Structure formats: C-alpha cells, structure tokens
Amino acid sequence: MGYEDVEQYADRETFAKYSDLALRGAVSQAPDFVWCPNGCGSGQIHESGNEQPIVTCGKCSFKFCFRHQVRWHEQLTCAEYDSLVSDPENFRSRIDILNEEAEKLRLAEQLARRTQEEADRRLAQSLMAAEQREEAERQARRERAERERREEAERRRLQAERIAMQQQAEKMRMEAVRKRDEDELSRITVEKTTKPCPGCKWPIEKNAGCSHMTYAETPLI
C-alpha cells in the first residue's frame, strides 16, 4: 500500500500519524540527521557529524552526543565513552589520568618542598651553629686579647720595678763607691796632714804656732 492509498482509505488522525512516521523515516535516511534523545520530538541535520559530535537541540536546547545519542558526556571523548561503556569497572578517563598525574606531581612537589625545607632548616642550624662558633671564637679572642693586655701591663710594671730597683741599686753602689773613695781620700789626707796623739792615738794636726802642743792632761813637746 502506497502513500496515496493510505491517504485515501485512512481517517485524518491515522493519516496524520502515518504521514509523520513516513516523514521521520525519510529524513532519518539522511547520513547527518539525528533525533533529539530528550524526547521533544525534534530532529535536525548535524553537518559536522562525528567530527564535531556535540549537538544542541534546536527545540529544547538539550546537548547530546551525535555518535552515542545520549546526553553529552562531559569531560569524556567519544572513544573514552566507548571504553567506559565496555569496561566501566576498570575505566580511567583522560581526565582521571591527568588528575592522577597531577596528584603525583603535587606529591612530588610536596616531597621536594619538604626536602628543601628540611635542607633549609639544616642549613639554618648549620649557619646558626657556625655563627655561634664564630661568636665563641670572637669572645675567646677578646678574652685572650684582654689577658694578653693585662699580662703585658704586668710585664711592663715588673720591668719598670726591676729597672727602678736596678737604678736604685746602681745609685747605692755608686754612692758606696763615692763614699769609699772619699773615705780613702780622707784617710790618705789624714795620714799626710796629721800625726797620732801619743796618748790616745787620735790624729792631730798642727795648723799654727810653735811645735809645743798640750793635749788634755798630758803636755806634749
């Protein structure tokens, strides 16, 4: 039975349904024609086909996949959607792989950061210890310099005392020599200019008058 026969013998409602189904069947034969899977009854030509599989219904704005006739699988390519359908338990999408790689990278960066922080901490401790050692060495040098200064001052004081004692000793020696020389000169002078008293033996000197001398109780000529 052809289209004209149905139109001739069917009632208006039946023919309308038949006409709609016939139209649907005819347009469905077009290679790029697709029906909206959202149930709005609309269909359209999607010229880019599988190359650009995202279709937006012109009637209800439902976004779906041209290849799979389902709501558009966000974050999944058509090949990934096929893998998901064939093995949903073991499926790993490109996004999952990227997320896993990003997580691995994050963990590696975290480990590297912690390693660097630990190295920085050890370096800081080393620098602090080195600074403390340097400060201890500076303090030791200051104490050593102060000790050497005191020792030098004490050495100079003792040296000054020794020099003063030596000078005093030399002065006393020279005084003793001078006194000895003066005493010796006096003795020689006395021996030359005096005679011993016949009585007490005390040196006496005649400086004027006659040769008659009287000493205490004993007259001497």
Tell me phi and psi for residue 54, to 5 degrees.
-80, 125
| pTM attached to this predicted model | 0.39
What band does 99 get if pLDDT is binned at 50, 70 and 90? confident
pLDDT at residue 123, as a whole number:
87
Residue 178, both tokens: 């001078």
pLDDT band at 221 (very low <50, low <70, confident <90, very high): very low
Q: How far is CA 178 from CA 173, 175, 182, in A?
A: 8, 5, 6
Label residue 108 by pLDDT band (50, 70, 90).
very high
HEC-encoded secondary structure of the chain:
CCHHHHHHHCCHHHHHHHHHHHHHHHHHCCCCEEECCCCCCCEEECCCHHHCCEEECCCCCCEEECCCCCECCCCCCHHHHHHHHHCCCCCCCHHHHHHHHHHHHHHHHHHHHHHHHHHHHHHHHHHHHHHHHHHHHHHHHHHHHHHHHHHHHHHHHHHHHHHHHHHHHHHHHHHHHHHHHHHHHHHHHHHHHCEECCCCCCEECCCCCCCCEEECCEEEC
Phi, psi torsion values for 55, nearest 5 degrees: -120, 135
More confidently predicted of 79 and 220? 79
Give the range with max mean pLDDT: 4-13, 54-63, 99-108, 176-185.
54-63
Q: What is the pLDDT of residues 58-88, one digit of tens each?
A: 999 999 999 898 999 888 889 888 888 888 8
